[in-house]
Amino acid sequence: MTQTNPIFHRLYRVLFLALISSYSFLHYACKTNPEAAPTGVVHNNAMVVSARIEASRIGMEVLKKGGNAFDAMIATEIALAAAYPFAGNLGGGGFMVYRMADGQTGTLDYREKAPLAAHRDMYLDSLGNPDPKLSRIGATAVGVPGTIAGIFAVHEKFGSLPMEELLAPTIALCEQGVVVTEKQAARLENYRDQILEVNGDSTVFSNSCKPGDTLRYAALAQTLRRISEGGRDEFYMGETAQVLSQFMKKRGGYITMEDLAQYEAVWRDPVTFQYRDLNVISMGPPSSGGITMQQILKMMEPYDVSDMGHHSAAGIQLFTEAARRAYADRNYYLGDPDFVEIPVSEITDPDYLQERMENYNPLKDTPSETISKGEIAMYESSETTHYSIVDQFGNAISATTTLNGAYGSKLYVQELGFFLNNEMDDFSAKPGEPNMFGLIGAEANSIAPGKRMLSSMTPTIVEKDGELWLVVGTPGGSTIITAVTQTILNVYEYGLSMQQAVEAPRFHHQWLPDMIIFEPEGFPESLKDSLITRGYIINQDRTPIIGKVDAIRVLKDGRLEAGADVRGDDAASGF
């Protein structure tokens, strides 16, 4: 059999890709997709979409009384700590991406940090093996919380209403109580034994509750009142800091007064890139979200994605192959930019990304073992939460906030009224060993004092023709990046409305485990059979849902359409 000369083969591939790139560029430059009629909630002026109607309403009321999107961000973020304690928090952290009405963009990193006493091998046992319980459950798992520093940083730079006015609605909500939904009751029941094991029966969550019950949070109201009076320093240096650090000491955790006093949120440049005629603005490291999404979309860009058809075997295959390669890079190269050198321009270079797709074969699977870099194998989680805001002035906020696992470390500070995160598990406890999502990290994400752990959170804003178009994000651990990317493609390439794009079934591939994970509902058997024929392994047992996307689309006439995910209790509020 004649062997093709590898140099000719390579040349042929480069020419082929150059040809399809130019075809695609010209094709799309001339293509104008008609705007899909909205099917979600529509408002004329402003919108907040979050995991709970109580939080969306609180954000919306702030806008209605003249506050801007940043004021609403503060109010919504804090409201989620009461309305959605599964992931909303004072004891965790997050990322915010913003776009001002005049087009200025930026991001805020209020991600947790490793305590000063942390060290590379802190979760290894005497045999040098990771002890997952230490990084996942209870006081040893907790990173220094960033949420309160985050809201005060936002307030200082962009806030227009007094902080007391922004915290007051949540204080009232804590006192009136939050009505338990069916989904919330089921979640609490799922995790009650673990919460009891960590905290005993002293917390508000120790009794079983049913839909329609009301949960009140007197201690959280008290903490928020103190923060309202004493400001940021109350949480990081005042009475709250003292209670927290003493509690941590008693429970065997690492966080001290010094850790709290040193915490700072950081303003960072966004990851910004073009996908066809869209301008995508997303979160950079220490989140992997923006760069990994950029890699996926830029690897797909040379192909005629919309002509492949929504949820066609060809479309899913192309997405999967791009995601496989992007996730392989994600874990090898990415970490906290304040600690590690990240080759951002190299791994987002168009030639590099074309090379990554050189062995893509539209007729068959590319086994992950043949893809170099990346040692990643993480599983989904639906914890974390996202909210999207557009205000009546045209400012937009995309924010994702988290405790990491469901109810974080499960450790609840009864005196202060909030759960503490288990974000330390997002570090790689030992390069090559899996974390709670099966994530096998690399050196770039090893533990060091004061370092931020790598995240997948992908709060994103998309511009079209230079104007604000989409605000989007989701929880979902490692599946966040693919869920956000698919939502954008659903609207842009496949002409779905915002609500349809959010509701559409989702799939996920992350290099390892080498399988396409499908939501069990919504994909026809014939499609899965066709992918199996091409060599793909299909998994539908991993997770009942992938992400809970909350998004906003700006329609051509300026009205706003919400996409509130029916997978949760997510809801929009606007005017």
Annotated binding-site positions for L-glutamate: 111, 402-404, 426, 455-456, 477
Q: Which is nearer to ligand GLY, 51 or 308 (CB)?
A: 51
Rounded least distance, CB 402 to ligand GLY, Å:
5
CA–CA separation, 357 vs 350, rounded Å?
11
Q: What is the DSSP string of 358-382?
A: TT-BTTB---GGGS-S---------
Nearest C-alpha neighbor of 70 from the set 81, 61, 59, 54? 59
> Minimum distance between the CB of residue 462 and ligand GLY, rounded to whole angstroms?
21
For residues 301 and 353, the answer to whether their CB atoms sit within 8 Å is: no
Answer yes or no: 482 catalytic: no
Within 147-289, strands assigned E span: 178-179, 214-215, 266-268, 271-275, 278-282
Nearer to ligand GLY, 265 or 468 (CB): 265
| CA dihedral over 113, 546, 154, 91, signed as positive or negative | negative
Q: Do 453 and 111 form a contact (C-beta atoms < 8 A)?
A: yes
**Cβ-proximal residues to 281 (8 Å cutoff; 6+ apart), any chain:** 97, 99, 105, 270, 271, 272, 460, 461, 462, 463
Interacting residue ranges for ligand GLY, rule: CB under 6 A: 384, 402, 404, 426, 455-457, 477
Nearer to ligand GLY, 356 or 452 (CB): 452
Q: Which is nearer to ligand GLY, 395 or 402 (CB)?
A: 402
Q: Please tell me the distance from the alpha carbon of residue 370 to that of residue 352, in angstroms, as a whole number.
A: 17
CB of 446 to ligand GLY, least distance (A): 16
Task: Give the nearer residue to ligand GLY in terms of CB position, either 71 or 426.
Answer: 426
Amino acid at the residue 186: A
The residue type of 113 is: K
Smallest separation (angstroms) from ligand GLY to the CB of 477:
5
C-alpha to C-alpha distance for 381 and 6, rounded to whole angstroms: 42
Position closest to ligand GLY via CB: 455
The minimum distance between CB 312 and ligand GLY, in angstroms, equals 29
Of 240, 256, 384, 479, which one is the catalytic site residue? Answer: 384
Dihedral class, residue 372 (left if φ above 0, else alpha if ψ from -120 to 50, else beta): beta
Tell me the HSE value of 544 on the side-chain side, using a 13 A CA sphere: 3
- On the CB side of 203, CA atoms within 13 Å amount to 24
| Residue list, annotated binding site | 111, 402-404, 426, 455-456, 477
In sequence order, what are the beta bridge partners of 133? none
Interatomic CA distance for residues 21 and 16, integer angstroms: 9
Alpha-carbon gap, residue 487 to 474, rounded angstroms? 10
Nearer to ligand GLY, 228 or 421 (CB): 421
Q: 35, 57, 460, 509: which is closest to 280 by C-alpha?
A: 460
Q: Which is nearer to ligand GLY, 404 or 428 (CB)?
A: 404
Question: Looking at the annotation, which residues are catalytic?
Answer: 384
